[in-house]
Amino acid sequence: MDQDNPFSAGDGQSRDVRNDGDNLPPVDMDPVAILTRCWELMSRNPGTVAGAVLLPLVPSFGFQAVQYGLQLAAVKQDQNVQLAVNVAVIAISMVSMAVSLFLQLGVYRIFTRLVRGLPADISMLVGELRNLLPGFLATLLMVLAIGVGLLLLIVPGIVLALGLQFALYALIDKELDPIAALRESWRLTEGYKLTIFVVNLVIGILMLALSCVTLGVGYLLAIPMMALSQAVMYHSLLHLKADQPTF
């Protein structure tokens, strides 16, 4: 098979991939090919995909319930109690965000393996503690950069969001530091930002339409499809950009 073809399976290895093997060739960067691959992955790994998408929601709902309960209990209390409750709610919010990020990093680990055709299981959700601080720093930098960009007539913010959207995937997949992960995401998306925007838009519209037509039931399918689509695009971009040096 032609080794100059970025979509060639070749010898099954990718110079930039830290996972142990690459058993699935990437797909073209178009909505139909990406959605088809997402459906194939969901069909092959329904339990893993569903668990990876839905289980991280459980602690989030739990923290929200505790916060609501505290606020409800403090409604008729004095100011000192209400102040203490507000402090507790803020602390719980911070813990909730840390737990959500921790589990989300695990989701990225699972998905980067599934898109390569490698085995993955739900236990990987809780295996990224070492990347929690780098992931937090990378997320903070992304939020700040995109926020500043949105203040500059919105368009720069959209461009930054597109260029940095694979930073956490790169951080997990290649064990990069936060700055290197942001730069690697920008490298991967260079020349493909408009394509990524169109793919995201089309997939988003299709999933919204599916949810509306099925009276919300399709939302259960839309969530994992949209989540997987990012991993599928990341996998394809790795191969498309394989001839360029990694930051």
The answer to whether position 1 is within a domain reads: no
Roughly what angle, to the nearest 10 degrees, separates helices 167-174 and 79-114?
A: 60
Whole-number Å distance between alpha carbons of 39 and 160: 29
**Six token digits for residue 63:** 């923290």
DSSP codes, 196-223: HHHHHHHHHHHHHHHHHHTTTTTHHHHH
Residue 77 lies in a domain: yes
Q: How confident is the model at residue 246 (pLDDT cuts 50, 70, 90)?
A: low
- pLDDT of the residue at 14: 36
Whether residue 19 lies inside any domain: the answer is no
Residue 222's SS3 state is helix
Residue 44 covered by a domain: yes
Q: What is the pLDDT of residues 212-236, one digit of tens each?
A: 887 777 777 788 888 899 999 999 9
How confident is the model over 80-137, as pLDDT tens digits?
Answer: 888 888 899 999 999 999 999 999 999 999 999 999 999 999 999 999 999 999 999 9
Number of domains observed in the structure of the chain: 1
* Any domain includes 46: yes
The per-residue pLDDT for range 132-186, each reduced to its tens digit, is 999 999 999 999 999 998 888 788 899 999 999 999 999 999 999 999 999 999 9
Is residue 96, in this structure, part of any structural domain at all? yes
Residues 6+ apart with CB under 8 A from 5: none
**Considering the domain boundaries, does residue 13 fall inside one?**
no
Sign of CA dihedral 223, 227, 230, 236: negative
CA distance 25 to 206: 25
Per-residue pLDDT at 107: 96
**Which residues form the domain of 142?**
31-240
pLDDT value at 8 more than 50 = no
**Is 12 a domain residue?**
no
